[in-house]
Structure 1
Amino acid sequence: MGRIAARVRVERERRGWTLARLADASGVSQAMISRIERGESSPTAVVLGKLSAAFELTVASLLALAEGAEGAEGHDGPAGGGAVDAGGGVRRRDDADEWCDPDTGYRRRQITGPRFPAEVAEIRLPAGARVPYPAAAFAFVRQLVWVLDGRLTFHDGDTVHELGPGDTVELGAPTARVFANTTDTPCRYAVVLTRGVRP
């Protein structure tokens, strides 16, 4: 939690933003941001998504920066942590960075490393969990969601998709989105994204 707290503060200060400016850009209250920066509160997936969007970083990039991942300081492309075996590009499962949302139990494991041209993350969404993201979180990336196990109820703006194993959805123009597991069993899905202007 301390590294995320320090990273949020660093990202805010390097832009010359006050707490009020970040609160306005993210929709997260000044009080909450202050508690996060002091290490008194751990951000949820929802809050992390809002802060990342305000900084124009992906969630994976912000987490990688917090972990001090090699190559993560480059904001022009995707980032991710975890050790890579020298010479082979092999990333061991036990070495991959994983982050857990303290509110929902949502778990995010970074699959790709900082030099790979796309970000791939594995998400485990517990039964009954619901994680919304603002439209701003999708403004600077192209993204695909691929369900691996279980069922995912995906709200794409006003459209709702019921997705099962093997189903994918390619995201279009930025809009508010919700990842929800309305079942009584866990859901596992992958998120693949690249940074850049939509064609």
Structure 2
Amino acid sequence: MSNIIEPLVGQIATRIRAERNRHRWTLAQLAEASGVSRAMISRIENGESSPTAVVLGKLSAAFQLSVSELLALAEQSASQDSDRSAGLTRRARATEWCDPDTGYRRRQISGATFPAEVSEICLPAGARVAYPAAAFAFIRQVIWVLDGHLTFHEGATVHELDTGDTLELAEPAPCAFHNSTEAECRYAVIVTRTSSRP
């Protein structure tokens, strides 16, 4: 069983503050770019609040990072697997990030030097996580359902995906991952970047 990392408050706070400083943005500027309130960003950066998956999606879109990139440093510092540098991560020692709002769990499969980002997501029964179109403006993404049923909203289009189904996303659109069933859904997300970081 992997180690579930409850919200990684300190590490995420450090990463978000570092990205904001890299862009030379004030709190107000990041709030405007992301649609997340200035007060919420301040609480996150001060380690007073645990960001949800939806909030992380909005912040990552503003920074033109994937959620995987935004969480990467936090996960790396929390990882207990000394073999990661050799390309090996034991399942029993892998770390997961858990959304404090929905219980959504996310595990990074690929390492920092791999040319694609591969993540495994476990979406609890009834959970729904939405992301703005801007979160997909600079990446290509494939969703692969590993177990269960996933309702994926891609703009106005709704895809019903079962175990083994894959979906390659088209042009950027607001998206939502929804598990409308009574059982957990597990899926993989494979992301490649279409442009370099600003």
Q: Do both proteins adopt the same fold according to a TM-score greater than 0.5, normalized to the shorter chain?
A: yes
Match of 1:168 among 166, 169, 176: 166
Let me know the Cα RMSD of the aligned residues.
Answer: 1.7
- 2:30 maps to which residue? 22
Instruction: State whether residues 84 and 111 of structure 2, in contact with CA within 8 Å, keep that contact through their aligned partners in structure 1.
Output: no
Distance 1:8 1:88 in 2: 28
Distance 2:33 2:191 in 1: 23
Q: CA offset at residue 89 of structure 1? A: 2.5
- 1:74 maps to which residue? none
- 1:51 maps to which residue? 59
Q: How does 1:31-180 map to 2 (within 5 A)?
A: 31-67=39-75, 83=81, 85=83, 89-180=87-178
The alpha-carbon distance between structure 1 residues 53 and 129, as it changes in their structure 2 partners (threshold 3 A), is same
Q: Could you list the per-position Cα deviations for residues 66-90 of structure 1 after superposition, in whole angstroms to 9, with x for gaps in the alignment?
A: 3456xxxxxxxxxxx7746378632
Distance 2:170 2:82 in 1: 32
Instruction: State whether residues 82 and 91 of structure 1, in contact with CA within 8 Å, keep that contact through their aligned partners in structure 2.
Output: no
Distance 1:107 1:101 in 2: 6
- 2:191 maps to which residue? 193
Instruction: State whether residues 144 and 169 of structure 1, in contact with CA within 8 Å, keep that contact through their aligned partners in structure 2.
Output: yes
Distance 2:108 2:11 in 1: 17
Amino acid at match of 1:54: A
Q: CA offset at residue 38 of structure 1? A: 1.0
Instruction: State whether residues 97 and 106 of structure 2, in contact with CA within 8 Å, keep that contact through their aligned partners in structure 1.
Output: yes
Alignment coverage as a number of residue pairs = 186
Unmatched segments (≥5 aa) in structure 2: 1-8
Distance 1:129 1:135 in 2: 20
Q: Could you list the per-position Cα deviations for residues 102-158 of structure 1 after superposition, in whole angstroms to 9, with x for gaps in the alignment?
A: 000000000011111101000000000000000000011000000011100000100
> TM-score scaled by structure 2?
0.89
Distance 2:118 2:89 in 1: 13
Q: Could you list the per-position Cα deviations for residues 13-50 of structure 1 after superposition, in whole angstroms to 9, with x for gaps in the alignment?
A: 12110111101111101111011111111000000011
Q: CA offset at residue 96 of structure 1? A: 2.6
> TM-score scaled by structure 1?
0.88
Q: Could you list the per-position Cα deviations for residues 143-184 of structure 1 after superposition, in whole angstroms to 9, with x for gaps in the alignment?
A: 000001110000010000110000010001100000000011
- Three-state SS of the structure 2 residue aligned to 1:34 is helix
Compare 10-19 and 152-161 and name the one that shifted more: 10-19
Distance 1:61 1:94 in 2: 23
Tell me: higher relative CO, structure 1 or 2? Use CA pairs within 8 A at least 6 residues apart.
2
The alpha-carbon distance between structure 1 residues 86 and 111, as it changes in their structure 2 partners (threshold 3 A), is closer
Instruction: State whether residues 155 and 177 of structure 1, in contact with CA within 8 Å, keep that contact through their aligned partners in structure 2.
Output: yes
Amino acid at match of 1:162: E
